[in-house]
Amino acid sequence: MLRAMSRKLPPQYAGWEAHERAFRRMSTAELVQEVQDGPPDRRLAALSVIDISDVSHETIEDWIRTLPDAEANELAGAIPAQRPHSNCSEDLHWVEVAALGYTNRRLPTFLVMLFSSLEAAEARGCPEAPSAWERTAGWLAEVYDTLADDDDLDAMEDISLFVFENYLDRDAVFEVFGDLVGRHRELALNLSANPHKYLGDLDEARQKVALEEAERGGGLPFWDSWSALNG
């Protein structure tokens, strides 16, 4: 499970780890029942061991909508990204699930698992991978605009940290990033003040395009940020 993203758990989950060993011997149906009807500590333990590839899509959608944040975060970490024996269809299914999860809950674990699933499809040579990157990039632009409208600074920072700092080498993500930088002053300022954080691994042409967009979007003058990047 991906617990690095977990927040400090509320007190009602105290002792949840004590259930894990016994729960590993339970069937998927029994674990689903625990998630549906159990107390908080047992629900979290069930989510920590369940194989959600055996859970119906309708149930997962319901959990995304209804589970408390700590449990939804554990659900996100249960997404089976980058399993060696998965196939392209499974990878792309989890891309969709993770996107749905992030859209509804704004928990960064869903964001991490979304892009891990995309990377898995790409590494597997799935013919659908390029179009999946394109769709995800379009989705990302819509999500970022919504977060900006809601003034959700924490979620915007999550996208910068987990997406923009790692995936600007993908054409679709870079194109969306440039558009967003040109339209969102806070992102433009962040980029132009910290260009190496985002652009250090990109080629010079892309670096220049991004910093020109940052200036257009209300960031620092191009030559100031260019000097900082190459200083």
How far is 63 from 66, CA to CA, in rounded Å?
A: 5
Q: Is residue 212 domain-resident?
A: yes
Helices 171-183 & 204-216 angle (0-180, nearest 10):
20
DSSP 100-138: HHHHHH--HHHHHHHHHHHHHHHHTT-TTHHHHHHHHHH
Report the pLDDT value the prediction gives residue 231, as an integer from 0 to 100.
80
Tell me if 114 is assigned to some domain: no
Give the model's pLDDT for residue 7. Answer: 58
Q: Three-class SS of residue 84?
A: coil
Give the integer Cα–Cα distance in Å for 63 and 51.
14
pLDDT for 120 equals 94
| Residue 25 within any structural domain of the chain | no
Q: Supply the pLDDT for residue 49.
A: 96
Query: d(Cα 218, Cα 150) in Å, to the nearest integer?
Result: 20
Q: What is the DSSP annotation of 137-181?
A: HHHHHHHHHHHHHTT-HHHHHHHIIIIITT-TTSHHHHHHHHHHH
Range of the domain at 143: 128-231
Enumerate residues 6+ apart whose C-beta is below 8 A from 101.
64, 72, 75, 76, 107, 110, 113
Res 86: pLDDT: 84
Instruction: Answer for the pair 60, 93: CB distance below 8 angstroms, yes or no.
Output: no
- Looking at the structure of the chain, the number of domains it has is 1
- In-domain check, residue 65: no
Q: How many CB atoms lie within 10 A of CB 150?
A: 11
CA torsion sign for 222, 223, 224, 229 is positive
Contact call for residues 184 and 148 (beta carbons, < 8 A): yes
Q: Is 71 among the domain residues?
A: no
Local confidence pLDDT in tens for the 231 residues of the chain:
444 344 589 999 999 999 999 999 999 999 999 999 999 999 999 999 999 999 999 999 999 999 999 999 999 999 998 787 889 999 999 999 999 999 999 999 999 999 999 999 999 999 999 999 999 999 999 999 999 999 999 999 999 999 999 999 999 999 999 999 999 999 999 999 999 999 999 999 999 999 999 999 999 999 999 999 998
Q: Considering the domain boundaries, does residue 164 fall inside one? A: yes
Please give the angle made by the CA atoms of 149, 184 and 217, to the nearest 5 degrees: 155
Stated pTM of the model: 0.92
Structure tokens at 41: 């500590």
Judge whether 10 lies within some domain.
Answer: no
Distance CA 80, CA 53 (A): 7
User: How is residue 73 written in tokens?
Assistant: 């975060």
Q: How many residues does the chain have?
A: 231
The token duo for 86 is: 């998965």
